[in-house]
Amino acid sequence: MEITISQDDGRVPVTVFHLQGDLADEEPLWSQAQQAYVDGTRYLLLDMRKVPSITSAGLRAIHEVYQLLRSDAPEESDEVVRKGIASGSYTSGHLKLLKPSKTAMKSLSVAGYDMFLDIYKKYAEAIASF
Amino acid sequence: MDVITARYPVAEKKDLAVIRRFTEAVMAAIGVEQEIASELVLAVHEATANVIIHGYKDQPGCVVIEIAQAGKDLQIKLRDQAPTFDPTTVPTPDVSVPLGQQPYSGMGVHMMRSFTDELRYRVTDEGENELILVKFDAIQT
């Protein structure tokens, strides 16, 4: 897995991780996300256009990154998330995904992540959604 | 029944990528439909990752993979010599729980179940773990 990083602007500054290769381990995604968080990233788009598949370890990395980004975001507290999901209005404000492959999408779907993470097909739409 | 076997006498975590590539290559060679092949590669990955990480506790250990074609069906046998453990008894995680509150354990086995039609386990006469993953109608005609 290779990760290149770029910055873009929606309504907020967005860090974009361009992932390339199978997401088959927690590293390097988890460590890169931790470093980005330390450097000030609070809104992250995972560009998954070049990720053929995601294993359970890769899902765990996404899970951990999701938790990290909402850790100091009161608008994504457990209670707010619960209410948002119940009312159908929840969006994952701090972490979004761009165009996972069919196989990667299957992993996300099997794990139920597609219910809780915003997934976009177009880069511009994904950036504008933050 | 045609059987293709790969033996990894000292498999480690770093070999998981090699095992994925082997599985991909066999799937392509015998004409498994692309989407099914990708899912089976993931199922084999999860099974072998569990053996190496949990069974062998990240120490090198033997893993044998046999891929057998029977008509349009596919059977993948994984054997290892880790302490006996039946992954089919692992409970299915509740994936409807919000992402931040999901317990993580059991996801690998959940993926194996989701990507196959049958998951069977037995202890062989030699005392090895044997996990059998079955996919019906996997082979393109």
Q: What is the dihedral of CA A49, A52, A57, A59, to 10 degrees?
A: 40
Cβ–Cβ contact A84 with B under 8 A: no
Mean pLDDT, chain B, as a whole number?
A: 93
Instruction: Using an 8 Å CB-CB cutoff, list chain A residues near B38.
Output: 52-53, 102-103, 106
Tokens of A23: 């997401």
pLDDT of B1 strictly over 70: no
Q: Which residues of B109-137 are buried (b: 16+ CB within 10 A; e: fewer)?
A: bbbbbbbbeebeeeeeeeebbbbbbbbee
Contact criterion met (CB < 8 Å) for A24 and B45: yes
% of residues, chain B, pLDDT over 90: 85
Q: Tell me the pLDDT tens digit for each residue of A79-107.
A: 887 788 778 777 788 999 999 999 999 99
Mean pLDDT of the region B76-82: 98
Q: Tell me the pLDDT tens digit for each residue of B82-124.
A: 999 999 999 999 888 877 777 778 999 999 999 999 999 999 9
Distance CA B9, CA A81 (A): 47
Contact criterion met (CB < 8 Å) for A102 and B35: yes
pLDDT at A116: 87
pLDDT of A48 strictly over 80: yes
pLDDT of A54 strictly over 70: yes
pLDDT at B77: 98
pLDDT at A78: 78
Tell me the C-alpha to C-alpha distance, in Å, between residue A15 and each of A30, A47, A110. 14, 10, 27
pLDDT of B42 strictly over 90: yes
User: How many distinct structural domains can be found in chain A?
Assistant: 1
Instruction: Using an 8 Å CB-CB cutoff, list chain A residues near B111.
Output: 55-56, 107, 110-111
For chain B, the residues whose C-beta falls within 8 A of a C-beta of chain A are 16-17, 20, 35, 38-39, 41-42, 45-46, 49, 95-102, 104, 107-108, 110-111, 114-115
Q: Tell me the pLDDT tens digit for each residue of A23-44.
A: 999 999 999 999 999 999 999 9
Cβ–Cβ contact A55 with B under 8 A: yes
Q: ipTM of the assembly?
A: 0.91
Closest-CA distance, B16 to chain A, in angstroms, reads 9
pLDDT at A75: 76
Cβ–Cβ contact A1 with B under 8 A: no
pLDDT of B141 strictly over 80: no
3-state percent helix, strand, coil for chain B, nearest multiple of 5:
40, 30, 30
pLDDT of A10 strictly over 80: yes
Mean pLDDT of the region B123-132: 97
Total beta-carbon pairs less than 8 A apart between chain A and chain B:
72
Q: Tell me the pLDDT tens digit for each residue of B43-62.
A: 999 999 999 999 999 999 99
**Test mutation, B99, B111, B113, chain A, max A CBs within 10 A:** B99
Say if residue B54 is exposed, middle or buried (CB neighbours under 10 Å; 0-12, 13-18, 19+): middle
Which residue range(s) make up the domain with A14? Answer: 2-128
- CATH code of the domain in which A85 resides: 3.30.750.24
